[in-house]
């Protein structure tokens, strides 16, 4: 296995013609150094990759937890919206009932006002009729007294005329 790696290292390295002057031991030592560096770099890279993978796994777990929390929050939001819709529907029904009751109450109040005005009108008409009757009786009494005084005046004139006629006729 080392032989294959050695040949590969000789083929890859840019200073391949200079290494031919080196001894085999020097080449093996150089290759061992290269392999050591490669192993160190690989270890560092693997550590970085492992650390990166751990970070990525941690980030993925955090994102997963956030997604689960978002799903729970979304479910709560949907429940809240449904409750709000139910409450809104109930409020609209109550508002419709309240409007109907207000319309009925307005109609009843209008009828009560009309009946009160009719009652006041009736009282006014009775008062007016009573007042007119009193006035008519007063006027009739005054006319009667006037006619009676005229009648008495007429009687007195007739009596006076009859008395004059009686005075003048005995002669």
Residue-level pLDDT at 136: 92
Mean pLDDT of 85-109: 95
Q: Are 7 and 29 in contact (CB under 8 A)?
A: no
Residue-level pLDDT at 19: 45
> What average pLDDT does the chain have?
84
Residue-level pLDDT at 8: 60
Mean pLDDT of 48-75: 85
Instruction: Decide: pTM greater than 0.85.
Output: no
**Is the model's pLDDT at 16 over the cut of 50?**
no
Q: Which of the pair, 119 or 161, is modelled with greater confidence?
A: 119
Pick the range with the lowest mean pLDDT from 25-29, 116-120, 134-138. 25-29
Domain extents for the chain?
12-168
**Is the model's pLDDT at 32 over the cut of 70?**
yes
């Amino acid at each position: 296995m080392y032989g294959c790696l050695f040949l590969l290292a000789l083929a890859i390295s840019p200073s391949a013609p200079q290494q031919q002057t080196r001894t085999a031991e020097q080449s093996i030592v150089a290759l061992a150094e290269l392999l050591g560096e490669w192993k160190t770099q690989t270890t560092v890279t693997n550590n970085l990759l492992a650390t990166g993978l751990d970070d990525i796994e941690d980030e993925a777990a955090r994102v997963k937890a956030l997604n689960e929390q978002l799903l729970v929050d979304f479910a709560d939001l949907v429940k809240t919206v449904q409750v709000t819709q139910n409450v809104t529907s109930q409020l609209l029904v109550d508002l419709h009932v309240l409007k109907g009751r207000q319309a009925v109450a307005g109609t009843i109040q209008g009828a009560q006002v009309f009946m009160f005005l009719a009652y006041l009108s009736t009282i006014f008409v009775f008062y007016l009729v009573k007042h007119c009757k009193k006035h008519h009786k007063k006027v009739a009494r005054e006319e009667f007294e006037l006619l009676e005084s005229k009648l008495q005046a007429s009687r007195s004139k007739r009596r006076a005329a009859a008395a004059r006629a009686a005075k003048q006729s005995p002669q």
